[in-house]
Amino acid sequence: MENGKRKAVVLLSGGLDSMLAARLMLDQGIHVEGINFFTGFCVEGHTHAVREDRQKRNLRNSALHSAEQLGIRLHIVDVIDEYKDVVLNPRHGYGAHLNPCLDCKGFMVGKARAWMEQNGFDFIVTGEVLGQRPMSQRRDTFPVIARESGATDRLLRPLCARLLPETLPEREGWVDRERLLGLSGRNRKPQIALAATYGFEYAQPAGGCCFLTDENYAHKLKDLWQSRGERRYDFDDIMLLKIGRHLRPRPHFKLIVGREAGENRFLEGYRNRFVHMWALDHNGPLVLLQGSADDADLDLAASITARFGQGRGALTVRVAVGQPGGLLGERDVKPLPAHALAAEWYL
């Protein structure tokens, strides 16, 4: 307790529901702080942040923006390494793509429980709504999250608490159950109406909040694992899957082609990790090569690099090839004709 107040840590995603859950707790005089976990797969406008042609949009972290509106502290925690086990070995399996939603929720509530214990907080709050998500927000999976996270009855879901068994904060009178909500289902009108009452601005990501639910992204991640012969990834791998065109012209190498100046600039940061190429006598993309490539492969990669630049109509284009540590050489290549770019190369 702080100044006689009970303390709750809320899993603040940056979406509307967790923001409302936090607000309901503040309305009951609870001391609230937010926690937000960065897994590496979070959709935080990364494509827009990198691409120059999309930077007119207001780039900001949604969770921070939520915390500012609520007037609460926010702890953003890097869980990239620990999260790998959730992605690679989900006990409860995947959803439609590579999204391990139930394991993910259990993991995050478990991390929040540990944080709660370390920081002397009393309970955990989430913005979950019964029946809103097919995997993690169901009557039969709610208890799984509470149990496997170790949060047990210190996990309160204020938006649907009236439909659920009483939790410790309710039994102890820290919060008034009568002032909690009984929302259920996928209809979001009640939340939108509440947000208007509070005057909240909030993010509504069209494709959800996690790249693992994205079919295209999941396909590229599976391709990465297949090409390596094992299921593993590092942070740079999963960031690069969000940037550029990805083509696999041969099983043993892949190209990441910057689509515009902002992406090229971002890819510059990887020059010291990968073989890379760019046209010398025309504007065009920076291209990273992941995998192994012999001389013929480098020629093919260079001709693809030329294809995506402004020299695509030229007879030959001079392409520089760099490697970590310096220049590997220059090649004069014929830009690959459009018909030779096989559709199946695109990931």
Minimum distance between the CB of residue 39 and another protein, rounded to whole angstroms? 11
**C-beta closer to another protein: residue 49 or 144:** 49
**C-beta closer to another protein: residue 75 or 92:** 75
**Residue 45 CA from chain centroid, whole number:** 9
**C-beta closer to another protein: residue 64 or 163:** 64
**In the complex, which residues of this chain contact another protein (CB under 8 A)?**
36, 38, 42, 44-46, 49-50, 55, 58-61, 63-65, 67-68, 72-74, 76-78, 239, 265-266, 268-270
DSSP state of 139: T
Minimum distance between the CB of residue 85 and another protein, rounded to whole angstroms? 20
Q: What is d(CA 143, CA 102) in angstroms, rounded to the nearest whole number?
A: 11
Minimum distance between the CB of residue 142 and another protein, rounded to whole angstroms? 28
Q: What is d(CA 316, CA 38) in angstroms, rounded to the nearest whole number?
A: 45
**Residue 344: both structure tokens together:** 């199946």
Minimum distance between the CB of residue 22 and another protein, rounded to whole angstroms? 13
Torsion of the alpha carbons at 21, 22, 28 and 29, rounded to the nearest 10? 170
247: amino acid identity, one letter = L
The β-bridge partners of 276 are 288, 322
**C-beta closer to another protein: residue 102 or 212:** 212
**C-beta closer to another protein: residue 8 or 102:** 8
Minimum distance between the CB of residue 64 and another protein, rounded to whole angstroms? 4
Q: What is d(CA 103, CA 85) in angstroms, rounded to the nearest whole number?
A: 10
Q: How many CB atoms lie within 10 A of CB 2?
A: 10
**C-beta closer to another protein: residue 45 or 311:** 45
Minimum distance between the CB of residue 228 and another protein, rounded to whole angstroms? 23
Q: What is d(CA 310, CA 306) in angstroms, rounded to the nearest whole number?
A: 8
